[in-house]
Chain A
Amino acid sequence: MSQIFHRSANTIARVSIFGAVFFVAGLLGLLAQINRSPWVTQARVAREQPIQFSHERHVAGNGLDCRYCHTSVEDSPFAGIPPTKTCMNCHSQIFSASPYLEPVRLSFRTDRPIAWTRVHDLPDFVYFNHSIHVNKGVGCTTCHGQVDRMPLMWQEQSLQMEWCLDCHRNPERYVRPREAVFRVDYVPPANQAELGRRLVADYHIQKLTSCSTCHR
């Protein structure tokens, strides 16, 4: 009988067996990473919009309050996207001839709404309610990030379930006083742990992790 395999086959065989184990493990790890990456979550990816609307300009520059445009955030599940009328409140006076704002004026003239690209898009089976979060001391920037530094809006967080759960399990790490909810310059104090515990007690914040809290 002669050799079927070359001497090197021994090494190749062992290396490939070990290699396969590491390869599969690596692949699974990579998959897990991809699932959490911006490529999937779209986090921190600025979206193209029909109008180059800058939160940075309006919030940091002009000092508008969140609620000037997102009017229903305190009463409704939905924070509200401003109607064209809201834009025109100011822009009928300032930059009223700017070519950038032509789509706004067109919308106002023709009564055709502006179709924005949705940035924070939860799956349809998730029911998020802005009003209760805002009322319980969850600040805008906690989830939406520093919108005052976003020339084009992006989604700050992954919006994945594990991210939601993190806060629902440990609200004391994130809540702030109600009066600071809409402050974009709010920085958690050094004693957040203590403050958080106190706010959780004061605001009767529950740790809601029942499925039907969000899924109905």
Chain B
Amino acid sequence: MKARSSYGLIAEFEDPTALVSATHRAYQAGYRRMDAYSPFPIEELAEALGSHHSKLPLIVLIGGLCGGIGGYALQFWAATMAYPLNVGGKPLHSWPAFIPITFECTILVAALSAVFGMLALNGLPMPYHPVFNVARFALASRNRFFLCIESTDPRFDPDDTRKFLNALGPREVTSVAD
């Protein structure tokens, strides 16, 4: 297997603790372009990978504000400017009556931002990914834990990295075809 056709090396672990500690060690060893895979969210794993922060809340906040302001503006414009009509003696700008829709619009756009923001930040959909080339990776959605160091990492070396990974006590280390 030639290095340039390789996506990286992947190590399989049996339990979350092993994975977290292996990831931690890899991070400390200076690897950055790597990813850990687990069948359920492990909070410590993100920390071990050195990612602490998510931009998602900000996206959702902006989305919510846009939804709310947009919803109110639509109602205000429609009721007072587009076609002002006397509805049951109520003022044209009946702001209390406009609140429910403003609220719903806020929630709607915020929720859409949350989901699509999450997908976008994660680069999904991505039905094809090199890690799927590893046969045992199917277990990543069952009961196995994987750490993959990608070949694009500056410190990546097929042999050294393999050794390094083997030293972390995995069940197996496999090369990931690109």
| Chains A, B in direct contact (C-beta < 8 Å) | yes
Chain B 50-69 interface 0/1 with A at a Cβ cutoff of 8 Å (1 = within): 00000000000000000000
Check if B77 is an interface residue, CB within 8 A of chain A: no
Check if B134 is an interface residue, CB within 8 A of chain A: yes
Within 8 A of B (CB), among A201-216: 209, 211
The docked-state distance in angstroms from the alpha carbon of A165 to that of B82 is 11
On chain B, the residues within 8 Å of A17 by CB distance are: 125
The docked-state distance in angstroms from the alpha carbon of A106 to that of B12 is 98
Q: Is the beta-carbon distance between A7 and B83 smaller than 8 angstroms?
A: no
Most A-side CB within 10 Å, residue of B85, B125, B126: B125
Q: Is the beta-carbon distance between A9 and B134 smaller than 8 angstroms?
A: no
Check if B167 is an interface residue, CB within 8 A of chain A: no
A165 to chain B, nearest CB (A): 8
Q: Is the beta-carbon distance between A4 and B132 smaller than 8 angstroms?
A: yes
Q: Give 21 pairs: A residue, B residue, CB < 8 Å, sorted on A.
A: A1-B134, A1-B135, A1-B137, A2-B132, A2-B133, A2-B135, A3-B132, A3-B133, A4-B127, A4-B132, A5-B127, A6-B128, A7-B128, A9-B128, A10-B125, A13-B125, A13-B126, A13-B127, A14-B125, A209-B83, A211-B85
The docked-state distance in angstroms from the alpha carbon of A3 to that of B85 is 61
Q: How large is the interface on A (under 10, 10 to 19, 20 to 34, 35 or more residues)?
A: 10 to 19
On chain A, the residues within 8 Å of B137 by CB distance are: 1
**A169 to B, closest residue via Cβ:** B83
The docked-state distance in angstroms from the alpha carbon of A7 to that of B127 is 8
On chain B, the residues within 8 Å of A10 by CB distance are: 125-128
Check if B136 is an interface residue, CB within 8 A of chain A: yes
Within 8 A of B (CB), among A166-216: 209, 211
Check if B74 is an interface residue, CB within 8 A of chain A: no
A144 to chain B, nearest CB (A): 26
- The one of A3, A209, A211 in contact with B128, judged by C-beta atoms closer than 8 angstroms, is A3
The docked-state distance in angstroms from the alpha carbon of A187 to that of B127 is 65
B89 to chain A, nearest CB (A): 15
Check if B138 is an interface residue, CB within 8 A of chain A: yes
**B177 to A, closest residue via Cβ:** A3
The docked-state distance in angstroms from the alpha carbon of A4 to that of B141 is 15
**A9 to B, closest residue via Cβ:** B127
A163 to chain B, nearest CB (A): 14
Chain A 7-41 interface 0/1 with B at a Cβ cutoff of 8 Å (1 = within): 11110011001000000000000000000000000
The docked-state distance in angstroms from the alpha carbon of A47 to that of B45 is 74
The docked-state distance in angstroms from the alpha carbon of A14 to that of B138 is 24
Q: Is the beta-carbon distance between A1 and B132 smaller than 8 angstroms?
A: yes
The docked-state distance in angstroms from the alpha carbon of A10 to that of B134 is 18
**B126 to A, closest residue via Cβ:** A10
Within 8 A of A (CB), among B115-130: 125-128
